[in-house]
Amino acid sequence: MNKLIVILGILTSIIFISCKSAQQKEETAKENVVEARQDLRDTKISNANEWLTFKSESQAKILDNEKRIVELKIKMNKPDNTFDGLYRTRIEKLEAKNNELESKLNNYDGNETEWKTFKSDFNRDMNEIGNNIKDLFR
């Protein structure tokens, strides 16, 4: 019986000590809100910087692809080279895909929820164009 009273006393003390007043809870909640807002601001700034870097690098790759496509067209149109219609079609498709990527990049609205998917798809398509151009230079 004495053990039960001691245990009950200890539990009551722990509960009483661990309870925070409403004012303390409110202050903690306000601090959490301030921290969450700051984290959101930091994330938005970080995402904006990441987007600007990504866009700049992607525009450079698109420009490089355009130059390489022009080189392929020049190579194709030299009088001593004979290229078939398939080669010409492949170059035209690469040029169209490169223009499509440029448009996609310029029209992206920066939607944060779709950012990772957009970036992944865009990089995959950009690498595909680069590899196809390399194959044509062989």
Using one digit for the tens of pLDDT, what is the confidence trace for 49-83?
A: 888 899 999 999 999 999 999 988 888 777 776 66
Provide the residue range defining the domain that includes 61.
Answer: 57-137
Residue 30 lies in a domain: no
pLDDT of res. 96: 95
Q: Exposed, middle or buried, 105 (CB in 10 Å: 0-12/13-18/19+)?
A: middle
pLDDT winner (highest mean) among 13-27, 38-52, 123-137:
123-137
Residue 39 lies in a domain: no
Residue 101 lies in a domain: yes
Residue 109 lies in a domain: yes
Residue 88 lies in a domain: yes
Give the predicted TM-score (pTM) of the model: 0.68
* Distance in angstroms (rounded) separating the CA atoms of residues 15 and 21: 13
pLDDT of res. 18: 63
Q: Contact 108/47 with Cβ under 8 angstroms?
A: no
Please give the residue that has the higher pLDDT: either 86 or 68: 68
Residue 11 has pLDDT above 90, yes or no: no
Domain total for the chain? 1
Of 63, 72, 75, the C-alpha closest to 132 is 72
Residue 76, C-beta contacts closer than 8 angstroms, at least 6 positions apart: 83, 87, 88, 91
Residue 48 lies in a domain: no
What's the gap between Cα 44 and its chain centre?
A: 13
